[in-house]
Each structure stands twice: as structure tokens, then as C-alpha cells.
Amino acid sequence: MIILRDGLDKRTMHKIEIRNLNLFYGKFQALMDVSMNLKPNTITAMIGSSGCGKSTLLRCINRMNDLIEDVSVKGSVFIDGEDIYHTYVDLVKMRRKVGMVFQRPNPFPLSIFENVAFGLKIHHLAKGKALESRVEESLKAVLLWEELKDRLNASALDLSLEQKQRLCIARLIALKSEVLLMDEPCSALDPIATQRIEELMAELKKNYTIVIVTHNMQQAARVSQETGFMLLGELVEFGLTTDIFTHPRDKRTEDYITGRFG
């Protein structure tokens, strides 16, 4: 069942709309009335100091916070105009569309092939030859195919950190996710690997809507077109990355990006 927002034409809609989102861990309020619109085929960076709620916000976009006990959410998140916090939402379908890349690369304790095929198998989307070619396509998209094609049956746990993170992205590409949520995807990687993942993100932007949480302001400035700055659960400022980093409107944003705190 699709719940569309009233009076909105589907063509002009934003890919993701966050409306008056409040989140509580027990009695502690971690998100304060956050609203923002995210454009398709755009990389949006969320910056802010540790504990500001940027990861929490990201995990609201695919409802990963549901896994934590004692969390309550008020407000809405619309993806393609559909409120994912509505009672009738099919979480399985939603998460197929909204993929997530985690801070620590988390390939499953399975073979490389099985990792990429995982999503296709659990959703019964492909088998046999079709499955193999989707796995190949996905590994090619993250530039792993050439180095791994001869050992697809090896354990994914033996890969390097960068390869693991690429593999985790390939899992999502195989599923043809539309949104990629990235929670500090490079914080476990060295600078060269980080650069290569950033190049990959720029490439993926053509087909995906990407939201990246990062504590690294240079990274936000390099990869994103739009940036949101959060402080103590509040979205202080949100706009074009160039504006945020060159002439922020809010004093607190300026203090943060010039390194006065954080």
C-alpha cells in the first residue's frame, strides 16, 4: 500500500523527505524536529560532532533503529512519497530499496559470491545464470571483478578492509537499491582506500541517491553536493555544500567548520 503525500506531483517530489522527525532513546531525545528534503542522484553529507544524532538520523531512513529496544520515533520519512513510518509499510520491500553501508565493513561469513547474491536470494529475484550475471555486474560496478573473479568461492572474511567495504556496496548494487545510506564508510580505511571509495561514490551518484554520515569535514566537502550540519540532535543548517563551507548562515556551523569545537 502506498501512502502518497497530499497535493504532491510525483515528478517534482524529492527522493527522501524527512518531516518533523523526533526520536527518543527512552527519555533521552536524540533528534529534535528534523526536517529536510534530499534530492535524487545527489550525495548529501551529514556532519557534526560525535553524538549529535547524525548516525541516528541516517538509521531512521531505513528504520534500523527499530532493532534497538526502547526507541520511539515521531514524525515521518517519505521515500518516493511513501511514508516508511506508516503502519502498513512493508519493511522488507523498503529495505530492498534503501540500502545501508556500515562503518565497519560487515561482509557475511560466507563466500564472496554468496555475499553479493545474498539479497537476490532472500528476495527470490534471480537464480542460476541470471544470478551469476547479476553478481558479475555488481562486482564490476565496484571494480572488484578483475581481482576477485577467480576466487568467488573464497571466504569474504579474508579480503582487505577496502575490498570488504566494496563488497558491501556490491551487495546493494546487486539488489538495485535506489538509496545508499553510508555510515562513515571510510573511517576504517586508509587514505588511499578512502580516496578510491570516494571515487566510487562519485560514479554511483549517477544512479543512486546517497546520504553519507562523516566526521571528516574534508570528505564532506570533497564528495557531497549538499550538506547538513547537526548539533545536539538538531539540524542547524542544511544547504549546498559550497555554501555551508564558504559562507555558513549560522554562527554554530561556522564555529564547527572552522574547528572551534567538535
Partner 1 sequence: MLFRKIKEFFIEQLIFFSGIASIVFVLLIFFFLLKEGLGLFKTVGLWDFLSGQFWYPISDPPKFGILPLILGSLVVTLGAIVIAVPLGIAAAFYIAEVASPRVRDVLKSLIEILSAIPSVVLGFIGMMTLVPFIKWIFDLPTGLTALAGSLLLAFMALPTIISISEDSINAVPREYKEGAIALGATHWQTLYRVTIFGALPGIIAASMLGVGRVIGETMAVMMLTGNAAVIPQSLLEPVRTLTATIAAEMGETVKGSEHFYALFVIGIVLFVISFAINVTADVFLHKNRK
**Nearest C-alpha neighbor of 44 from the set 161, 210, 197, 171:** 210
Of 5 and 86, which CB lies nearer to partner 1 in the complex structure?
86
- How many CB atoms are closer than 10 A to CB 255? 14
**Minimum separation from the CB atom of position 201 to partner 1 (A):** 18
**Minimum separation from the CB atom of position 9 to partner 1 (A):** 29
Of 13 and 188, which CB lies nearer to partner 1 in the complex structure?
188
Q: Compute CA distances 177 → 7, 94, 97, 119, whole Å.
A: 27, 10, 4, 10
Name residue 17's beta-bridge partners.
37, 78
State the number of CA atoms in the 13 A half-sphere of 143 facing the CB.
Answer: 11
User: Cα angle at 31 between 246 and 95, to 5 degrees?
Assistant: 95
Cell of 203: 560514479
Of 80 and 237, which CB lies nearer to partner 1 in the complex structure?
80
Contact residues for partner 1, defined by CB under 8 A: 62, 64, 67, 91-96, 99-100, 102, 104, 106-110, 118-119, 121-123, 168, 171-172, 175
Of 135 and 168, which CB lies nearer to partner 1 in the complex structure?
168
**Minimum separation from the CB atom of position 10 to partner 1 (A):** 23
**Minimum separation from the CB atom of position 209 to partner 1 (A):** 16
Cell of 54: 547524525
CA dihedral 133, 80, 19, 175 (to 10 degrees): -10
Of 89 and 232, which CB lies nearer to partner 1 in the complex structure?
89
Of 118 and 145, which CB lies nearer to partner 1 in the complex structure?
118
CA distance 122 to 221: 37
Classified as helix, coil or strand, 37 is: strand
Query: H or E stretch including 234?
Result: strand 234-240
Of 95 and 134, which CB lies nearer to partner 1 in the complex structure?
95
**Minimum separation from the CB atom of position 100 to partner 1 (A):** 4
**Minimum separation from the CB atom of position 176 to partner 1 (A):** 12
Is the separation of the CB atoms in 178 and 14 below 8 Å?
A: no
**Minimum separation from the CB atom of position 183 to partner 1 (A):** 10
